[in-house]
Amino acid sequence: MGNWFCRTKNIKIIILGLDASGKTTMLYHMKLGEFVSTIPTIGHNIETVHLDGIDITCWDLSSRGVMSKLWQVYYPNTQGFVFMIDSSRRDELDDSLNEFLTYVLRHEHTINKVIMIVANKQDLKGALSAQEIEDRLLERSLASRQHTMFVTPCSALDKKQVNETFSFFAHQICLNEKGKAKSGLITVKEQQEYWNQIHKADTETTFKLILHNSIQYFKSYFE
């Protein structure tokens, strides 16, 4: 998609989630372009990833022990928050959402920021779909209009999915910096419509469509 809308060439994001949700695997697959074996993070990992012409500084924070209680120390000057959910562990969904509510959604430094909830491990049999997680989010009234937020499916083992996931995330941060991001929840259906348009058009056509606001979906972001 490129960085056609970004005022900044540098973005800081924080990657959060319960233990073994795939935070570090996702980060290093995006950084190195390949799967690497990881061990549980103690403290944090910091990497800068170049994507769509933007340098994204990623802070991967540990959730071991009391570490999740220290997440907020890293929140200032952060443009986007990624919350990873292991969608193959159905019985832990509410635990994950409790962490999300306590340490992300309720925190003052996340207000008016972009929040991406990643339904990770979609490659595993029986994994919760992004739609199921979105439905549970709505059931618990966790879709705040004080944030731009969305649930997206992904497998941290799939390079294309990882890149597309973070490309969309960076795009929303760019729109947010211009005051043009959607407030509240970008639904799974809206995301699917977005990608359908992207995949149907080649780069030149997409560029023209965006510039001239000729796709209704894009119009909703620019009006």
Please give the annotated binding residues for Mg(2+), written as ranges: 24, 41
Query: Tokens at residue 159, please?
Result: 């390079």
Residue 149 Rama label (left phi>0; alpha psi -120 to 50; beta):
beta
Q: Which residues line the annotated binding site? A: 17-24, 41, 120-123
Scanning the chain, the segments in alpha helix (DSSP H) are 23-32, 93-100, 130-139, 159-177, 188-200, 203-211, 216-222
Q: Closest by alpha carbon to 191, among 211, 176, 171? A: 171
The two beta strands, 44-51 and 54-61, are antiparallel
Scanning 36-129, the segments in alpha helix (DSSP H) are 93-100
Q: Closest by alpha carbon to 101, among 86, 114, 83, 113? A: 83
- Find the helix packing angle between 203-211 and 188-200, rounded to 10°: 120
Q: Which residues line the annotated binding site for GTP? A: 17-24, 120-123
Q: Which residues contact 52 (CB under 8 A, 6 or more apart)?
A: 1, 2, 3, 167, 170, 171
Calpha distance 1→88 (Å, rounded): 30
